[in-house]
Structure 1
Amino acid sequence: MQPTARAPRTSPHRTRPLAATAAVMALAALLTTGPAHAEPAASSMIDPATPAGVQPYGENGTKALVWSDEFDGTAIDTSKWSIREQNRGSHSGITWWYRAANVRTDGNGALAIDLRKNSTSEYSGGRIDSQGKHEFTHGSFEARIHTPYQTNGHLAAFWLQSANQGHVDGSARDGAEIDVFEGAHQADNYPVTVHYDGYGADHQSNTANVSAPGLHSTWYHTYKLEWTPTALKFFYDGTQVRTITDPNLISQVQEFPILSHEILAFADGDVQNAPLDANSTVYVDYIRVWQ
């Protein structure tokens, strides 16, 4: 059934209340630059609201939690995140933006990134990322996300990126864009993609669509990347859906997490048909990183 309002948090592992060429060109504008920052003390990197001893979904182990955000506050934690304000270009007669005004906490323990129609030919989503604040090499990266009920030219995305993604040697030696989740399809599947060698003429990518039962009919799903020096393993609700072992596709440098609501040409449907209500909003229950 189509949800009419955000559902309450329910999770068995929580104790408290591909792209086409046009997409590649759109992604090129995402890479921002900024000065490096000293890594803050570990105690400030873990949200006090994160359950003690929590492990990645479906795991019983002893991984060390190193960073988390439960989005329980009244505002986005800007010690962890930058909220982007950025013109993202145009396609099909529509100009679209990342707008900081679209990014909020919803008062019920989630990050919310709204979709707005700014004018007849302009729409906006939003993006937060931890570039220059919290960056990681290897680890388990997990987010619990609600994608819009009906994909209409806009999508939820959870991804990693390197600020240094310009090295061109046929590998991800100098970083990669790692798309853990892009809710681009109206069917119950989504693309998992690695982009490398920059976004220009030398750009390369490797993508695969993975099965995602209940993607649109169930409010929340959990997406995870396990990144080691020798593999990228991708999970949907605890099920491994893709593995990459080609060393040319595995980043060897620090990457920063990104949560975004995108308006992209390769997404199914037409953004002009999207309802501008709770069904068009991306919600993120939490994000956590273990090493």
Structure 2
Amino acid sequence: MSDRRIRVILPLFGLTCAALIAAPSAGAALVAAPAPESDSRSSLVDTKTPHNAKPLARGKVKALVFSDEFNGTSLDTSKWTARDWARSGTVPPDTWSYDPANVSLNGAGSLEIKVRNPAANTYTGGLIDSQGKFDFTHGTLEARIKVPPTNGHLGAVWLLPTGGLAPGGVYDGTARDGAEMDIVESNFKADQYSATLHWDSFNPPQHQQSGAVATAPGLHSGYHTVGLKWSATKLEFTYDGSVVRTVTDPKLISQVKEYPLLSHEILDQWADGSIHDEVFDSSSSFYVDYIRVWQ
């Protein structure tokens, strides 16, 4: 039988039963209520994440091992690094880069990743990742996101292998030794997005990929939850708890540690028309309400 005391609030005096037991007489001091139990979860789990938080996508999970609710005023650098990198693949004369100045918490409980046009033919976005701070093999990842209206915008939730796409410089022709797993790339104006795997290399001729377009009702209407259920034998990409892509080919399923990334960029090849006509303000930002990983 548990020794936890039953606490009943007496409406007249506002005293608990525990307090009354400890104070039989009017002149005796009342005993303070017990302190709440400490949070025994991993330090990589946000203390603001509810203890009963479960994935929208049903399935067996053992424990929450990583989360960020993006509250507060600054990025948690024990979990994330905001990158300052040039971005290849832009269409000349445009240049493009990831700029840490575009990454912030919006004060309303979300990560905001902006895109900017600071000078003619110059564009910046943002990327954060947990490389060297958190990685995992197999589990369920979910992120609640709000994607930008897409004219060249690409808001993304993805994973990269800790050891790279071709560990030891060996191109083995499979994703088993690591793959880029794009859980969402919001590269469509319609309510759909790309869910893609890349492996062996980002460059030809070694580069290989397997892509699919997920139907996502209401994607551009507000926040929605995207996810990946990753086991040794199956990948299930999910949208608001429903499976939108399934991969069972063993050659396409990573069996190594991978780490999460959150990013936003703008590229001509994704635009209907030109990104030069795009408006850059808070309405064109990519927002992440939370990210959580269970194993």
Question: Which residue identity lines up with residue 136 of structure 1 in the other structure?
Answer: F
Change (3 A) 1:137 1:60: closer
Question: Are 2:106 and 1:110 equivalent residues in the alignment?
Answer: no
Number of the residue aligned with 2:51: 52
Equivalent position of 1:83 in the other structure: 82
Q: Does 1:176 align with 2:176?
A: no
Pick closer, same or farther for the CA change 1:62–1:257 going to 2, 3 Å.
closer
Q: Does structure 1 retain, via aligned residues, the 8 Å contact 2:195–2:211?
A: yes
Deviation at 1:208, TM superposition (A): 0.9
Question: Which of 257, 267, 271 is matched with 1:268 structurally?
Answer: 271
Deviation at 1:63, TM superposition (A): 3.6
Tell me which structure has the larger Cα radius of gyration: 2
Matching residue of 1:32: none
Aligned residues: 249
For the residues of structure 2 that align with 1:87 and 1:60, how far apart are their CA atoms? 39
Q: Please, what TM-score do these two structures have when normalized by structure 1?
A: 0.82
Instruction: Output the CA distance in 2 between the equivalents of 1:58 and 1:87.
Output: 36
Residue in structure 1 matched with residue 218 of structure 2 by the alignment:
214
CA distance in 1, matches of 2:184, 2:217: 14
Counterpart amino acid of 2:213? N
Q: Work out whether 1:233 is the aligned partner of 2:236.
A: yes
Distance change in 2, residues 1:135/1:42 (3 Å): farther
Look up the SS of the partner of 1:195 in the other structure: strand
Whichever residue aligns with residue 288 of structure 2, its letter is V
d(CA) in 2 for partners of 1:197 and 1:165?
5
The residue number in structure 2 matching 1:290 is 294
Q: Does 1:253 align with 2:256?
A: yes
Q: Larger deviation: 281-290 or 206-215?
A: 206-215
Structure 1 gaps, min length 5: 1-40
What's the counterpart of residue 23 of structure 1?
Answer: none
Partner residue in 1 for 2:122: 122
C-alpha distance after superposition, 1:86-119 (max 9, x if no partner): 1103314211110000000001111000111121
Q: Distance in 1 between matches of 2:268 and 2:279?
A: 18
How many Å apart are 1:278 and its aligned residue? 1.6
Following TM superposition, the consecutive aligned residue runs of length 4 or more in structure 1 with deviations greater than 4 angstroms are none
Superposition deviation, residue 61 in structure 1: 5.9
Match of 1:272, SS state, is helix
Query: Deviations for 1:131-187, whole angstroms, at most 9, x for unmatched residues?
Result: 111011000000001100x21112110000013211311101220000000000111
Distance 1:253 1:265, change over 3 A: farther
- Secondary structure in 1 matching 2:42: helix
Query: The residue matched to 2:43 in structure 1 has which SS?
Result: helix
Separation of aligned partners in 2, 1:71 and 1:100 = 16
Contact 2:61 2:294 in 1 (8 A): no
The answer (yes or no) to whether the contact 2:115–2:124 under 8 Å persists in 1 is yes
Shift of 1:234: 0.5
Match of 2:197 in 1: 194
Contact 2:184 2:193 in 1 (8 A): yes
Cα deviation, residue 59, structure 1: 3.5
Q: Is the 8 A contact 1:186 1:268 kept in 2?
A: no
Q: Write the letter of the residue equivalent to 1:178.
A: M
How far is 1:58 from its partner?
4.8
CA offset at residue 273 of structure 1?
2.1
Question: Are 2:57 and 2:238, in contact at CA under 8 Å, matched by a contact in 1?
Answer: no
In the alignment, which residue of structure 1 is the partner of 2:95? 95
Question: Bigger shift: 253-262 or 49-58?
Answer: 49-58
Contact 1:55 / 1:61 at 8 angstroms: preserved in 2?
A: no
Q: TM-score, with normalisation over the residues of structure 2?
A: 0.81
Percent of counterpart pairs with the same letter?
50
Q: Contact 2:193/2:213 (CA < 8 Å) preserved in 1?
A: yes
